[in-house]
Structure 1
Amino acid sequence: MLEIRGLRAGYGSVEILRGIDLDVGQGEIVAVLGSNGVGKSTLNNNISALYRPFSGSIRFKGEELVGRSSTDIVKRGVIHVPEGRRIFPNLNVLENLELGSLVRGTARRKQNIEHVVSIFPRLKERFTQLAGTLSGGEQQMVAIGRGLMSEPELLIMDEPSLGLSPLLVEEMFALIQKINREGQSILLMEQNAVQTLAIANRAYIIENGHVAMQGKATDLIHDPDLRKNYLGL
């Protein structure tokens, strides 16, 4: 579905990504792992057209995305759940979810809300509650639910476990698996390497703006270099 070739990107004159090649296939969970500052969010921001890359190609279902607007990217079904949730704290939960269908998914808004609450039943109990008063885990559910309201063909998730307690981290990864089992293709950016590799089909390790390692998640989790340098094992 997603084909990235030779992507070089950054901010101003500072280059963060230095030639990234990456693919996501239909129905896969593809993980991008790396420490803070290696360029995971930069990659997301360029796929979503929040920034324009210095060079390279980003193709979705055979069509070039570079040069298109962020609204056009959403219309094509590439939906970005950003790091830090970025929900609207002064709107209630239902209003936050409904905003997810502003560009895409409007015609099936009611059915999509039912779909979201089937995945996150807790949100139905919070429909009238201001989103800013929710717990961190519940806010993350709102952020993911808002993304699902856009009927994504590819769901990009940026650090969904960030700031959650260990128990909620386990719950969040289980929910990501549940979404994927319904056929959802997911590009997952994470620092939590062990639990990410446990649910992903394939993974890319980014270091200093390059893909340092890539392969099947089941192979990478047993790779001695990865275990030593990234997992601390």
Structure 2
Amino acid sequence: MLEVSAIRAGYGGTEVLRGIDLKVDAGEIVAVLGANGVGKTTLNMVLSGLVKRDSGAVVFDGERIDGLPAPEIVARGLIHVPEGRRIFPNLSVRENLECGCYRRAGAARKTNLERVFATFPRLKERHRQSAGTLSGGEQQMLAIGRGMMGEPKLLILDEPSLGLSPLLVEEMFALIAELNTSGLPIMLVEQNVVQSLQLASRAYILENGQVALSGPAETLRDDPELKRAYLGL
């Protein structure tokens, strides 16, 4: 579904991504892991068309999308749920969700809304409530639900566990696994190394704007370098 080749990008002359290569195949969960400042969010912004790459290529669903404007990338089905949720706090839960089908799947708004409410019953209970009054976990559900409204072909989740309690983190990862059971490919961008590697089929570890380690998640879980650098073992 997604193939990234030799992507370089940055801000104001400062290079952040230094030749990133990765791919996400149909139906799989791929984790992109690393500490703050290694380039994870910049990579997401490049894939979403919000930051221009300096070189390299992005192929999505068989077609080059690097250089396309962000709305056109969304219209093709690559949907990014950003870090920090980025909901509209003064709009209702339902209005936030309906914003998710503005560029894609508008004709199926009612059907997709019912599907989101079936996945997130708490959002259905609060559909008239202002989004800014939701708990952190509920706001993250809302952000993911808004992404689902656009019928993604690939869903990029940027730090979905950020700021959540341990119990809600468990719930969030279970939810991501459930979304994937329908065949939806997911690129999971996280700092939570342990749980991400338990969920994903493959993973990429970023350091200093480059891929430091990559491979099957099961193999990486036992990699001594990963344990030393990220788990303190």
TM-score, structure 1 normalization: 0.99
**How many Å separate the matches in 2 of 1:90 and 1:226?**
42
Give runs of aligned pairs for residues 1-233 of structure 1, distance below 5 A.
Answer: 1-233=1-233
**How many Å separate the matches in 2 of 1:123 and 1:232?**
38
Q: Secondary structure at the match of 2:197?
A: helix
Unaligned runs of at least 5 residues, structure 1 = none
**How many Å separate the matches in 2 of 1:202 and 1:46?**
21
Q: Secondary structure at the match of 2:174?
A: helix
**How many Å separate the matches in 2 of 1:117 and 1:182?**
16
Cα deviation 1:27-53 (Å, max 9, x = unaligned): 010000000000000000000000110
The amino acid that maps onto 1:133 is T
Unaligned runs of at least 5 residues, structure 2 = none
Root-mean-square deviation over aligned CA pairs:
0.6
TM-score, structure 2 normalization: 0.99
| Count of residues paired in the alignment | 233
Shift of 1:12: 1.3
Q: Secondary structure at the match of 2:18?
A: strand
The amino acid that maps onto 1:16 is V
The percent identity for this pair of structures is 64
**How many Å separate the matches in 2 of 1:175 and 1:101?**
21
**How many Å separate the matches in 1 of 2:51 and 2:186?**
21
Cα deviation 1:154-175 (Å, max 9, x = unaligned): 0000000000000000000000
Runs of 4+ in 1 over 3 A off after TM superposition: none
